[in-house]
Structure 1
């Protein structure tokens, strides 16, 4: 049994979170996209949609990319005591703890869209699209360096007295060169 948090692939984690965010955000914006605009003009909706989607996407492409780069540069081999989650189980391990929170966010998005006509779900869409863009970039980095990069997977809610709290906050990246053969870029 592992005495430390389990590890999941960084690419798989970004893909899972990006996909979930993209679909939840699109669902939250659906009422507006289907015409429930509460009297807002088409131009106002278009401008707000571009801004609501654009800022989270740009954040993922800019500051978030630097965050990933910093951790990739500091990545070390997996220390003893960590267990790596199988690639077939990564999506479930990453997304399962987020289910309740995601349903609550979806309800709020739909409520805002129905009452104001603002497609607020596009913010989550922008974040999701940005994460998928990061996952693509991270996969390219893995292929270039012929390693698999993994990080700790945190539970949905972390208690203040959790012995692994500092690891969850630091989000260290580890390399596991032996988990998959090198691929051609």
Structure 2
């Protein structure tokens, strides 16, 4: 798929391609003039297989933005080296776990990480470690793993990133 502006979402391990967060954030992306895609990764819980699925889809755009939540954050971050997105937006990214602790490469300059202080699935220090290593914008919110209670701020942060990606 090759278009001018595209946001490609990657959902978490237990969620689906059009869950609460992705549905809301897709509205934000469309309002900013982006097309959206959200592949269904529910057929596998293997994060490496999910990365392969995304790379096989080969999303392309002049302004490609990868957005991932939890395991989808891992998928989006690991796909950066191959897909070379303009921006990366991660929510509670499941990074640095045993057997999938490799450091992502090719992280774009426009990178935002949002994590909940009370996340009981992915420790907050994973987001801090990634943000520090990649000089990413980091937002720590009073929330848990899903961040579903933070939809307005997630929408605001994604919209701001999309604006910056477009040079605005």
Higher strand share: 2
Q: Who wins on radius of gyration, i.e. which is larger?
A: 1
Normalised to the residue count of structure 1, the TM-score between the two structures is 0.22
Higher relative contact order (CA 8 A, sep 6+): 1
Normalised to the residue count of structure 2, the TM-score between the two structures is 0.24
Higher helix share: 1
